[in-house]
């Protein structure tokens, strides 16, 4: 194996093992920033040694052992250690390198859960939670995160550094919350995962309409949480929603990178394995009594599309009813806008326009390009083409995605 092959192998192993490694180290040192540094020290050691010695049979165990020995050195050097840390150092020092055939000796599942809840702690801003989650759990570099969200690398780096400092200074416990606090914190975890997915599914800016790698990262995180928290219905609801939406990624983009609307997509291009996985996850959510959770409801809406063999076979009446339930449970202007689209398909554009017109005064949608997009579509269907043109032009001026802008300007021109 050449040096380049070894480095590519190490990179692949790091993507798989880094989250478990950082999670286990964070349990030991109680600081995600220090844990990440120790994990990277182990990675550097692998880059130095493996090209000569070869990749070990159990690379994850090797990295864990190397990182633990780094932790011992750190504990020894730190003169301000509390007695607990001294005892921990002695405990770790007695451990030996694991047998390559053995699995990691730590409760990996518990550690990963703790890391997920720590990285998604509400004490951090939404942007910081997303960046830190992708860094610690997605294994992405700062540059990769910056490119994914079209943000300056320095900005993302500062967010990550500040996030780790905030967690340390706020003394956020490295633990899974319990009782009522679990529900509050779980919603933050699911929100972060879905934000990552949405940025991949419909990029807010740039030349690309979709960024599949981000969708894959979010799906992987969602599946991990579902495996670690199998009794939480909303986790399965979110996984169902993401699996079914991800099934349409190939069909969402035309040959020249242009967006393809849902009703115009070639359904033969949909990934039916992902649809089936999504439907199975939805069944699990429903079996746990979570059919009316916000993510499960959105998953049920996605399932209506996934089950329809043709656009004409879509059960829009059921989708409108599900949006009614979602609006009742989690009222928001965006949910109401989506409900209007479903009402238009089920009961006609005039009924939907009434809903949309009420949203015109909503401050949070002032610069949301989908509001004039939907309104323009409804006006066009009603034959009010001059008004529709103005709405499409306004939508084009608001979007930061170049592919969407081109489509909206094309729709505006078609109104003439």
Taking only the tens place, the pLDDT of each residue in 4-49 is 788 888 888 888 888 889 998 888 888 899 999 999 999 898 888 9
- Of residues 171 and 148, which shows the higher confidence score? 171
Q: What is residue 128's predicted lDDT score, i.e. its pLDDT? A: 94
Query: What's the rounded Cα separation, in Å, for the pair 207 and 203?
Result: 9
If phi over 0 gives left and psi between -120 and 50 gives alpha, with beta otherwise, what is residue 254? beta
Beta bridge partners of 206: 401
Q: What is residue 87's predicted lDDT score, i.e. its pLDDT? A: 57
Q: What is residue 88's predicted lDDT score, i.e. its pLDDT? A: 57
Closest CA to 127 of 191, 184, 37, 203: 191
For 254-299, give the DSSP string. -TTS-B--GGGS-GGGS-HHHHHHHHHHHHHHHHTT-TTSHHHHHH
The percent of residues above 70 in pLDDT, for the chain, comes to: 91
Spatial neighbors of 368 by CB under 8 A, at least 6 apart, are 334, 398
Q: Is the pLDDT of residue 80 over 60?
A: no
Closest CA to 219 of 202, 183, 189, 194: 194
Ranges 40-49, 142-151, 333-342: which has the least confidence: 142-151
Q: Is the pLDDT of residue 318 over 60?
A: yes
Report yes or no: 63 and 20 within 8 Å, Cβ to Cβ. Answer: no
> Model confidence at 94, in pLDDT bands (50, 70, 90)?
low
Taking only the tens place, the pLDDT of each residue in 386-412 is 999 999 999 999 998 999 999 999 999
What does each C-alpha distance from 62 to 26, 39, 375 come to in angstroms?
17, 11, 58
Taking only the tens place, the pLDDT of each residue in 246-293 is 999 999 999 988 899 999 999 999 999 999 999 999 999 999 998 899
> Model confidence at 82, in pLDDT bands (50, 70, 90)?
low
Q: What is residue 100's predicted lDDT score, i.e. its pLDDT? A: 38
Ranges 157-161, 171-175, 294-298: which has the least confidence: 171-175
> Model confidence at 335, in pLDDT bands (50, 70, 90)?
very high
Q: Return the domain boundaries, the chain.
A: 3-96
Closest CA to 367 of 387, 397, 401: 397
Q: What is residue 6's predicted lDDT score, i.e. its pLDDT? A: 80
Q: Is the pLDDT of residue 92 over 60?
A: no
Query: What's the rounded Cα separation, in Å, for the pair 324 and 403?
Result: 31
Report the chain's mean pLDDT, rounded to a whole number: 88
Average pLDDT of the segment spanning 168-190 = 88
Other C-beta atoms closer than 10 Å to the C-beta of 265 total 18
Taking only the tens place, the pLDDT of each residue in 99-118 is 433 433 444 568 888 999 99
Q: Calculate the dihedral angle through the C-alpha atoms of 192, 32, 50, 78, rounding to the nearest 10 degrees.
A: 170
Query: What's the rounded Cα separation, in Å, for the pair 389 and 275?
Result: 36
Q: What is residue 269's predicted lDDT score, i.e. its pLDDT? A: 96
Query: What's the rounded Cα separation, in Å, for the pair 355 and 367?
Result: 18
> Model confidence at 206, in pLDDT bands (50, 70, 90)?
confident
């Amino acid at each position: 194996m050449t040096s380049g092959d070894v480095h590519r192998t190490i990179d692949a192993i790091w993507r798989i093992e880094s989250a478990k490694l950082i999670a286990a180290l964070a349990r030991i040192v109680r600081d995600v920033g220090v844990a990440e540094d120790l994990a990277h020290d182990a990675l550097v050691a692998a880059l130095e040694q493996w090209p000569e010695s070869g990749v070990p049979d159990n690379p994850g165990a090797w990295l864990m052992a190397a990182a633990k020995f780094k932790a011992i050195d750190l504990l020894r050097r730190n003169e301000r250690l509390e007695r607990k840390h001294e005892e921990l150092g002695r405990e770790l020092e007695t451990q030996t390198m694991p047998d390559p055939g053995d699995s990691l000796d730590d409760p990996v599942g518990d550690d990963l859960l703790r890391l997920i809840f720590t990285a998604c702690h509400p004490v951090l801003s939404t942007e910081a939670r997303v960046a830190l989650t992708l860094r610690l759990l997605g294994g992405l570099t700062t540059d990769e995160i910056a490119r994914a969200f079209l943000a300056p690398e320095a900005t993302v780096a500062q967010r990550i550094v500040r996030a780790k400092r905030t967690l340390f200074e706020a003394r956020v416990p490295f633990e899974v919350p319990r009782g009522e606090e679990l529900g509050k914190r779980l919603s933050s975890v699911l929100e972060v995962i879905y934000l990552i997915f949405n940025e991949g599914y419909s990029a807010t800016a740039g030349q690309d309409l979709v960024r599949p790698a981000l969708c894959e990262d979010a799906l992987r995180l969602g599946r991990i949480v579902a495996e670690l928290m199998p009794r939480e219905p909303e986790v399965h609801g979110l996984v169902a929603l993401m699996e079914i939406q991800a099934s349409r990624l190939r069909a969402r983009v035309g040959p020249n990178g242009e967006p393809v609307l849902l009703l115009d997509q070639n359904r033969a291009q949909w990934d039916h394995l992902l649809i089936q996985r999504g439907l199975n996850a939805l069944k699990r959510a429903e079996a746990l009594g979570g059919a009316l959770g916000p993510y499960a409801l959105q998953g049920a809406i996605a399932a209506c599309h996934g089950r329809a063999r043709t656009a004409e076979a879509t059960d829009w009446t059921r989708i409108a009813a599900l949006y009614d339930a979602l609006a009742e449970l989690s009222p928001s202007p965006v949910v109401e806008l989506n409900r209007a689209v479903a009402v238009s398909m089920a009961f006609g554009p005039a009924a939907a326009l009434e809903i949309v017109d009420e949203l015109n005064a909503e401050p949070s949608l002032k610069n949301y390009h989908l509001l004039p997009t939907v309104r323009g579509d409804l006006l066009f269907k009603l034959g009010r083409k001059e008004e529709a043109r103005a709405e499409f032009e306004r939508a084009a001026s608001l979007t930061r995605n170049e592919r969407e802008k081109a489509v909206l300007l094309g729709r505006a021109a078609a109104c003439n």
